[in-house]
């Protein structure tokens, strides 16, 4: 809300009023609660699976590969730090290769990500057009929300 609107609400007697200076776009990109029309349409954040396999730069690639296989995921593994900030991605090729590289050597740096407030239908269309198997969802400061897999996301109610 604008500073002017916040001040007006205070003059009307509201006491819990905050001026979110970064604006509504940042609010949604941070995955914070939505209202109105925005809340009625599924978003990337709604479809993001928070249990997507993750690993750190220090993890052994062979153990990551086995963990991913046991989990039933094959699409991607997100490389994160202790704060769950996305640093990279291990794709199918990196996971399929039987070599002795480290996670850091095998990962793709700076993977493409989307924000939680992205319209799910638009995201699924984009994934289909680009023939992508998944989308990594992060907040505006890079923290992992989850991974959207089109086959699972299509099962969400419209």
Residue identified by tokens 């984009």 is 126
Residues 44 and 73: their CA atoms lie apart, in Å, by 19
Q: Which range, of 14-18, 23-27, 122-126, averages the lowest pLDDT?
A: 23-27
* ∠ Cα 37 141 32 (to 5°): 30
Is pLDDT above 80 for 23?
no
Sequence-ordered list of residues with C-beta below 8 angstroms from that of 49, at least 6 positions apart, any chain: 146, 147, 148, 149, 152
pLDDT at res. 100: 80
Give which of 108, 98, 114 is closest to 148, Cα–Cα. Answer: 114
pLDDT category of residue 135 using cuts at 50, 70 and 90: very high
Q: Which tens digit of pLDDT belongs to each residue from 74-133?
A: 767 788 899 999 999 998 888 887 778 889 989 999 899 999 989 999 999 999 999 998
Q: Which tens digit of pLDDT belongs to each residue from 37-84?
A: 766 788 899 999 999 999 999 898 888 988 898 988 876 778 889 999
CA 83 to chain centre: 14
pLDDT at res. 38: 64
Residues 134 and 150: their CA atoms lie apart, in Å, by 7
Q: Which range, of 10-14, 26-30, 107-111, averages the lowest pLDDT?
A: 26-30
Q: In whole angstroms, how far apart are CA 9 and each of 26, 45, 67, 121?
A: 22, 30, 52, 35
Residues 119 and 39: their CA atoms lie apart, in Å, by 10
Structure tokens at 11: 């003059």
């Amino acid at each position: 809300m604008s500073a002017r609107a916040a001040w007006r609400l205070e003059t009307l007697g509201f006491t819990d009023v905050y001026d979110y200076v970064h604006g509504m776009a940042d609010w949604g990109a941070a995955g914070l609660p939505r209202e109105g029309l925005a809340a009625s349409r599924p978003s990337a954040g709604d479809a993001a699976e928070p249990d997507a396999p993750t690993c750190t730069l220090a993890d052994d690639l062979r153990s990551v590969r086995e963990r991913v296989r046991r989990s039933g995921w094959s699409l991607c593994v997100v490389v994160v730090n202790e704060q769950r900030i996305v640093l990279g991605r291990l794709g199918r090729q990196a996971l399929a290769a039987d070599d002795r590289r480290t996670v850091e050597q095998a990962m793709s740096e700076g993977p493409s990500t989307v924000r939680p407030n992205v319209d799910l239908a638009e995201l699924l269309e984009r994934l289909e057009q680009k023939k992508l198997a998944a989308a990594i969802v992060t907040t505006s400061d890079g923290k992992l929300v989850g991974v959207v897999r089109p086959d699972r996301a299509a099962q969400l109610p419209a």
